[in-house]
Amino acid sequence: MGICTSRSRPISLEGQAIVNSSCRSSFRRARGRSENTLRDLGAYLPLYKAAVDGKWRDAKIYLDQDPLALTAKISIASETALHIAVGTGKRGHEFVEKLVKEMSPEDLALTDQHGETAFSIAAVVGNIHAAKILYNKNPDLPNISGKYGFPIHKAAQFSQEKMVNYLLDVTGADIQPNPFTGDMGGRLLIDVIAADFFDKEKDGKEQEALMLVKELCKEISELDDSKVFSLLQQALHDAAKLGIPEIIEEIVEIFPPAIWFTDKDNYNVFQLAILNRQEAVFNLIFQLTDFKVLITRFIDSEDNNMLHLVGKLPPSDRLSLVSGPALLLQREIQWYKEVEKHISPAQRVAKNKAGKTPKMVFTEEHQELMKDGAKWIKKTASSSAVFATLIATVAFAGGMHVPGGTDTSGLPYLLHEQAFTIFTIADAVSLVFSIFSIITFLSIIVARYSEDDFHHILPRKLKRGIGVLFCSIIVMLIAFCVALYLVFTPTKTKNQFLAVLYVLMIVILVMSVIILYQIVKPMNGSNMFVNNKDRILH
C-alpha cells in the first residue's frame, strides 16, 4: 500500500502570504494572456500535437518562433502545453522536464478553465515523475486549491494511491483552507474511503491508509457537533456500503456516538451492510456489547426491520459474487438465517407498513431467483448426468475388451502383468464412480426445490456429484494410460515409459484437483459470518 501519513513542513504566515501572492499574480498573468492566446487555437495545433506525442524537438522549434506560446492556452479547456504534456504520463517525461526548464515558477501555477494547475493534472493521472519536477521548481503548487479542491483531493478522487502517498509529504499542514481539517478534511476522508486505499493482507503493522483515516477523524472530531455529525456520518455510511469495517472501527473509537448515526432512510451501519451484502461490516455485530439489542431493533421509514431488509435483493454488483443463480440463492438464504439469529422472535414475524413479514418479503423478492436457480441446477445436473453416462459406457466397454486380448478360454493374455491389475482396478473404480454420480444427478433433477433445499441439500448434492464425476474421469484416464503401457510399449523401453506414465498421472491428478476446487468452492456455502476480533466496538 505505502501511504505515509507524515506531512510537510508547516507554512508560516509570511510563507502563506507569499503563496497567496504567488497564486494571485499567476492568475492575473493567466487572465491577462487569455484574450490573446484564445483567439486562434488552430495556430497552436503543432504545439498541441508535439505535447501529446512527447516530441520536444518539434515543440522547441515552435516555441523559438513564438515564445509567448510557452504559457499560452492552447486547448478548448484553456490548458497550456504543460497541462497537456503532464497528462500523457510516461510518454511526456522528457518533454515535461525540458519544458519546465523554459518556464518560471509562476508559469507553473497557470490554470485551465476549471482552475486546475498542471500539478493538479499530474495528481489526477498519477504522474509522480512530473509532479516531482514541478514541485522542485515551485514548492507551493501542492497548496494551490482548484475548483474541486487541492491536488491531494484530486488524487484521492481518482484513486491514485501512490500519488496520495507523495502528496501527503509535500502538502502544507498550516495553509488556509487546510486540506486536512474541517470540511476539506472531511472531503478527503470520504474520498480516501471511496478510493479503497486499504491493504487486503495484513503485515503485522497498522495499515498506513488507516493511520491517515484515524488522523483525519481526530481532526474532524474537534469541530463543532453539527459538522462532526455531517462529515463522519457520510464517511461511516460510505464505509458500510463499500465493506470497509476498519474505517467504521476507527470512527466509532474516536467518536463513539457515531454507531447510532442513521441516513435519510433511517438506516444504521448494520442495516446498510445488510442491504449491500457486506458481510465484513455485518460481522462487527459480534463486537458489540449488550447495546446490540438496541441496534438490531432499528426500523426504517417503512417499518422494515433488519430481517425485512435482508429479504430484499442486493445491488446488481453483489449478485455477481458467485456463479449460478442457485448458488446465489444459497448465499441469500445464508444471509437471512444469520440475521435471524440476531433479532428477537417478535421481530421475525413483525409486519411492515405493507403488512408483510420478513419471510413474505424474502419469498416475493427471491421468487424469480428461485425459478432461475431451479432451472440452472437442473440443467447442470442433466448435463453432468449425460457426461457421467458416457464415462460409465467407456469404463464398461474397457472392462469387456481388455488390453492385449484374451485366449480361447477367455482369460486375458496379460493377466499376470502387475500393470493389468492396476488397469482392472482403475476401470472398475471409474465405472462405480460414474454410476454413483449418475444416481446423484438424477436425485437432483427430481428434487422438490424448496427454499430450504437451496440452503444445503441441493448444493451439497451437486458438489458431491461433480466431485465423484471428476474422480471417475481421473481414474479412467489412469486406466487409459496403463492400457497404452500394456499394449504399445516394447519390452526394452517399458521402464522409461513407466516413468513418463507416473509423471503424466501426477500432472493429471494435480490439474484435476485444481479445476475441481475452483468448481466446487462456490458450492461449499462456507460460513461468511465469523468474529475474528476481540476488540469491542461499542
The CATH architecture assigned to 380-523 reads: Up-down Bundle (1.20)
Closest CA to 85 of 111, 59, 115, 113: 59
Higher pLDDT, 178 or 381: 381
Task: Place 209 in a pLDDT band, splitting at 50, 70 and 90.
Answer: low
Measure the CA–CA gap between 533 and 369, rounded to whole angstroms. Answer: 34
CB 150 within 8 A of CB 179: yes
| Structure-model confidence comparison of residues 152 and 191, the more confident one | 152
Q: What is the mean pLDDT of residues 224-238?
A: 74
For residue 519, give the C-alpha cell: 468448481
189 near 213, Cβ under 8 Å?
Answer: yes
Question: Is the predicted pLDDT of residue 371 greater than 70, yes or no?
Answer: yes
Place of cell 433445499: 453
Query: Domain-by-domain residue ranges, the chain?
Result: 1-173, 269-365, 380-523
In the chain, the percentage of residues whose pLDDT exceeds 70 is 79
**Which pLDDT value is given to residue 31?**
38
Alpha-carbon gap, residue 358 to 378, rounded angstroms: 28
Phi-psi region of 464 (alpha: psi -120 to 50; beta: other; left: phi over 0): alpha
Whether 443 shows a pLDDT value over 80: the answer reads: yes
What's the chain's Rg over C-alpha atoms?
Answer: 34
Share of the chain above pLDDT 90, in %: 15
Q: What is the mean pLDDT of residues 160-180?
A: 81
First to last CA, the chain: 29
Burial class (CB in 10 A: 0-12, 13-18, 19+), 68: exposed
DSSP string, 248-272: HHHHHHHSGGGGG---TT---HHHH
Q: Does pLDDT of 494 surpass 70?
A: no
CB atoms within 10 A of CB 147: 11
pLDDT of residue 386: 92
**Residue 343 and residue 304 in contact, taking contact as beta carbons nearer than 8 Å:** no
Out of 207-216, 230-239, 283-292, 505-514, pick the least confident: 207-216
Q: What is the pLDDT of residue 385?
A: 92
Residue 435 has pLDDT above 90, yes or no: yes
Alpha helices in 38-150 (DSSP H): 45-53, 56-65, 81-86, 93-102, 118-125, 128-137
pLDDT-wise least confident of 64-68, 189-193, 220-224: 220-224
**pLDDT over threshold 80, residue 207:** no
The pTM score is: 0.68
Distances (CA, A) of 250 to 232, 235, 244, 262, 471: 11, 11, 11, 17, 49
pLDDT of residue 360: 93
Instruction: For residue 243, give Cα distances in angstroms to 260, 284, 485.
Output: 18, 11, 56
Per-residue confidence band for 271, with pLDDT thresholds at 50, 70 and 90: very high
- Answer yes or no: are the C-beta atoms of 473 and 438 closer than 8 Å: no
Give residue 512's pLDDT: 75
Mean pLDDT of all residues in 180-208: 66
The matching CATH number, chosen from 1.10.260.40, 1.25.40.20, 2.40.110.10, 1.10.3720.10, for 1-173 is: 1.25.40.20
Mean pLDDT check: name the lowest of 120-129, 284-293, 326-335, 373-382.
Answer: 284-293
- Bridge partners, 149 (sequence order): 146
Contact 322, 526 (CB under 8 A): no
Q: So what's the pLDDT on residue 202? A: 46
Q: What is the dihedral of CA 501, 502, 508, 511, to 10 degrees?
A: -140
Mean pLDDT of 377-396: 88
Q: What confidence score (pLDDT) does residue 523 get?
A: 66
Look at residue 2 in the predicted model and tell me its pLDDT. 41
pLDDT at 489 over 70: no
Residue 293: what pLDDT?
Answer: 79
Average pLDDT, stretch 363-370? 90
pLDDT at 317 over 90: no
Confidence of residue 403 (pLDDT cuts 50, 70, 90): low
pLDDT of the residue at 410: 62
Quickly state the pLDDT bin for 99 (edges 50, 70, 90): very high
Average pLDDT, the chain: 79
| Helices 161-170 and 128-137, axial angle in degrees (round to 10) | 20
